[in-house]
């Protein structure tokens, strides 16, 4: 038949951004080297490399990674479990109060009869 289709995992945003930054930087380097005047032959390529380096550093420094978000997910699941336990306790107390109120009402009715 055919080979099974593999599900592609989503790439890390930081890696994609880094690839894009350096693709453009490579093109700018080529243009600056080819068309830069004699006085700009060294300054423009260095500026391009410095700009791409700073941009890459900022992307990696200020973008959360996947591990942190999975840790946040585990924390949220734990909080949901605790809230579910609390809700179960409130329901138990509510049922107990309802049963106690019914017994008290029944006892009051028996005293009146």
Question: Does one domain contain both 78 and 106?
Answer: yes
The chain-wide mean pLDDT, for the chain, equals 82
Q: Which of 24, 29, 19 has its CA nearest to residue 60?
A: 19
User: In the chain, pLDDT over 70 holds for what percent of residues?
Assistant: 81
- pLDDT value at 8 more than 80: no
Q: Is 43 helix (H, G, I), strand (E, B) or coil?
A: helix
Q: Which residue range(s) make up the domain with 92?
A: 65-113
pTM over 0.75: no
29: in domain: yes
Check whether residue 52 and residue 92 sit in a common domain: no
Q: Are residues 73 and 112 in the same domain?
A: yes
pLDDT of residue 67: 60
91 and 48 belong to one structural domain? no
For residue 10, give every residue at least 6 positions away whose Cβ sits within 8 Å of its Cβ, in sequence order, or none. none
Of the listed ranges 53-62, 78-87, 91-100, the one predicted with least confidence: 91-100
For 86-103, how does the pLDDT look when each residue is reduced to its tens digit (9 = 90+)? 999 888 888 888 888 888
**Domains held by the chain: number:** 2
């Amino acid at each position: 038949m055919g080979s099974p289709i593999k599900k592609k995992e989503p790439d890390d945003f930081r890696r994609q951004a880094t690839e894009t930054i350096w693709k453009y930087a490579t093109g700018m380097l080529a243009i600056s080297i080819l068309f830069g005047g004699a006085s700009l032959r060294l300054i423009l390529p260095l500026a391009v490399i410095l700009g791409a380096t700073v941009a890459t550093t900022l992307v990696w420094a200020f973008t959360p990674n996947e591990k942190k978000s999975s840790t946040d997910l585990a924390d949220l699941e734990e909080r949901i479990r605790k809230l579910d336990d609390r809700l179960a306790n409130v329901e138990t107390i509510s049922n107990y109060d309802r049963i106690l109120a019914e017994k008290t009402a029944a006892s009051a009715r028996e005293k009146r009869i």
